[in-house]
Copies of this chain bind each other. A is one copy, B any other.
C-alpha cells in the first residue's frame, strides 16, 4: 500500500519525505509531536490530541502556521488516502531550518499515517524500574535518548518498557502512563508526567465507577498494589504483571476500565 505523508503544505509518498539536515529537530532535538490512532477511518480522541499538540508547540515557542481545523483537514485527507483498518498518525513540529543552527524559526510540520496493529498484550506487560526524571515532562518532545539507551538492559530483563521513579515517587513509563488499584481505589500520579489523552479519558470514565485519586504515588504504594495497569494511545489499557521482581495479577477493575474506555472511544 502506498503511504502518504503531509509535509509543509504538501501531501507526498512517504519514500519522498526528506528533510534538510539543517532542521532544528535533527541537529538540536528541538521539536514536539503527538500520536493517535484512527479506526475504520475515524480518528480516536482527535480534538484532545490536536489540543495537546498545540500546547506542546506553544510551550516550545513554535507556531505551526496552521489552525487546528486546518491540521484536521490534512489528517482526514491522509486517513482517506492511506486506507487501512487501523492507522497510527503522528504529527511532528520542529524548530525549522535555523540559520544559526540554534534559534528556532519557521517550523517544519510533518504528519505521517501508517498502518497500525496493537501489540499482543494478552499476558500483560513487564516493566523495569529506572531512576530518572524527564526533562520538561509535560511537553511531548522528540527526546527519547534515555529510554532508548535502556533498550539493551530491558531486553536482558525481558522487560517491555521502563517505569521511571525519582526520590521515592513513580511518574510514568517511557511512552505511557501508569495507574494502580489499591483496596478498590484507582490512583495515578499528578505531577512530572506527560498528561496522556488515554490517561485523561481513563480518569474521567473511571471516576463514574470508582474512587479515583490523582496525586503523588510512591514506589512503595506501587509494589504493594492490588492491580497495576498502563495507558496509552498505542495500548489502550494493559495490565502490568511484573515490575522488576514484583508480580501482579491481572485484575477485575483494570478489565472494567478497559471496557469503559472502549465505550468512550466509540462516542
Question: Which residues of A does B touch, CB under 8 Å?
Answer: 5, 7, 14-15, 17-21, 23-31, 33, 59-61, 90, 92, 94-95, 102-104, 110, 112, 132, 135-136, 141-146, 148-149, 151-152
Contacts and interface: CB of A to CB of B under 8 A. Distances in A.
Given A7-B21, A18-B18, A143-B143, A148 B27 contact: no
A212 B59 CA distance: 41
Given A110-B21, A112-B21, A102 B145 contact: no
Given A102-B148, A146-B135, A141 B29 contact: yes
A23 B26 CA distance: 9
Most chain B Cβ neighbours within 10 Å, of A23, A110, A144: A144
B144 A30 contact: yes
Contacts of A144: 28-30, 102
A30 B149 CA distance: 9
A152 B61 contact: yes
B19 A17 contact: no
Contacts of A20: 15, 17-19
A159 B143 CA distance: 26
Contact of A21 (B17, B148, B151): B17
A153 B104 CA distance: 14
**8 interchain residue pairs of minimum CB distance:** A29-B29, A18-B18, A28-B144, A29-B143, A29-B142, A17-B21, A26-B26, A143-B143
A24 B132 CA distance: 21
30 contacts: A5-B21, A7-B21, A14-B21, A15-B20, A18-B21, A19-B20, A19-B21, A19-B26, A21-B110, A21-B112, A23-B26, A24-B148, A26-B94, A26-B142, A27-B33, A27-B92, A29-B141, A30-B144, A59-B149, A61-B149, A61-B151, A61-B152, A95-B148, A103-B148, A104-B148, A135-B135, A135-B143, A136-B146, A141-B145, A143-B145
Given A19-B18, A143-B143, A148 B7 contact: no
B21 A142 contact: no
A7 B18 CA distance: 14
Nearest to A35: B101
Nearest to A7: B21
A42 to B, nearest CB: 23
Contacts of A5: 21
A182 B66 CA distance: 54
